Amino acid sequence: MITLYDLVFQDDRRPSPFCWRAKFALKHKGLGWRDEPMGFTEKQKIAFAQSQTVPVIHDGPHVVKDSWAIAQHLDSAYPEKPLFGPARHHAHFVASWVDSTVHPALFPILVGDLYERVRPVDQPYFLDSRGKRLGTTDFAGFQAKAREKGVAAFCAVLEPARRVLKEQPFLSGEQPAYPDYALAGAFLWARVATPLTLLEADDPVHPWRERMLDLFDGMGRKAKTA
């Protein structure tokens, strides 16, 4: 049985966008897993993997850290139902676009709400690590300022996905695959962390997000929200 180490917030909330990618990839493969929640200050749980971040999976003799490495491992160890098909480089490109463009556009408008939902025992760690990243520990103030521009700035970065989703139901075509899971992880991060409305109903990304929430028996929709 595969073990997945997943970031945990208050009330068992699971916001990590990278862990969501791993969960979608496991479901895509039809694989079950044992879930091991890990708080920010419980890194000893993943020391065996020499990792400071989750997701980490333990799959028989294989210990794999990093969401992209996990996706590649799953696709080679379980070749049925390919995650990438011939388009592995395209999937890598989309996941990298989400990491480098979508997540940085989301983080400022989420950070105050994320902090409120971090387990109290992990709050000093979050304050220190994210404070250094942002140059302030006034996360509520930082978030309020970011939201003054509205979510328009965030929506603007979705334009490449929007153009594709105007023409087809998934980024990967008629069926979802890893590029969809990479972007869906970002939306689940937001969904678990904040009640903020990110997408208007007439945005072509909106129906795609609904389809992603419905996948795998509503796995994403069932997750505890903000």
Ligand X SMILES: N[C@@H](CCC(=O)N[C@@H](CS)C(=O)NCC(=O)O)C(=O)O
| Angle, CA of 51, 154 and 122, to the nearest 5° | 35
Distance CA 147, CA 112 (A): 11
Site for ligand X in 146-165 (CB under 6 A): none
Query: With binding defined as CB under 6 A, does residue 176 bind ligand X?
Result: no
- Is the Cβ of residue 114 or residue 219 nearer to ligand X in the bound state? 114
Stretch that binds ligand X, among 60-68, 80-88, 160-168, 193-201 (CB under 6 A): 60-68
- Is the Cβ of residue 33 or residue 68 nearer to ligand X in the bound state? 68
- Sorted by sequence, the CB contacts under 8 Å of residue 22 that are 6+ apart come out as 4, 55, 57, 67, 70, 71
Distance CA 21, CA 204 (A): 21
Stretch that binds ligand X, among 62-70, 71-79, 106-114, 200-208 (CB under 6 A): 62-70
Of 8, 49, 64, 67, the residue at the interface with ligand X (CB under 6 A) is 67
Of 53, 101, 123, 137, the residue at the interface with ligand X (CB under 6 A) is 53
Of 13, 14, 24, 40, the residue at the interface with ligand X (CB under 6 A) is 40
Q: How far is the CB of 183 from ligand X (least distance, A)?
A: 14
Distance CA 215, CA 125 (A): 34
- Sorted by sequence, the CB contacts under 8 Å of residue 172 that are 6+ apart come out as 87, 178, 179, 180
Site for ligand X in 73-132 (CB under 6 A): 129
Of 54, 74, 98, 161, the residue at the interface with ligand X (CB under 6 A) is 54
Number of residues that bind ligand X (CB under 6 A): 13
Three-class SS state of 185: helix
The answer to whether 117 and 226 have CB atoms below 8 angstroms apart is yes
- Is the Cβ of residue 67 or residue 194 nearer to ligand X in the bound state? 67
Of 4, 7, 25, 183, the residue at the interface with ligand X (CB under 6 A) is 7
Task: List Cα–Cα distances, 59 to 22, 43, 185, in angstroms.
Answer: 13, 19, 22
The answer to whether 210 and 184 have CB atoms below 8 angstroms apart is no
- Sorted by sequence, the CB contacts under 8 Å of residue 116 that are 6+ apart come out as none
Q: How far is the CB of 113 from ligand X (least distance, A)?
A: 15
Stretch that binds ligand X, among 52-60, 82-90, 132-140, 202-210 (CB under 6 A): 52-60
Binding site for ligand X (CB under 6 A): 7, 16-18, 40, 52-55, 66-68, 129
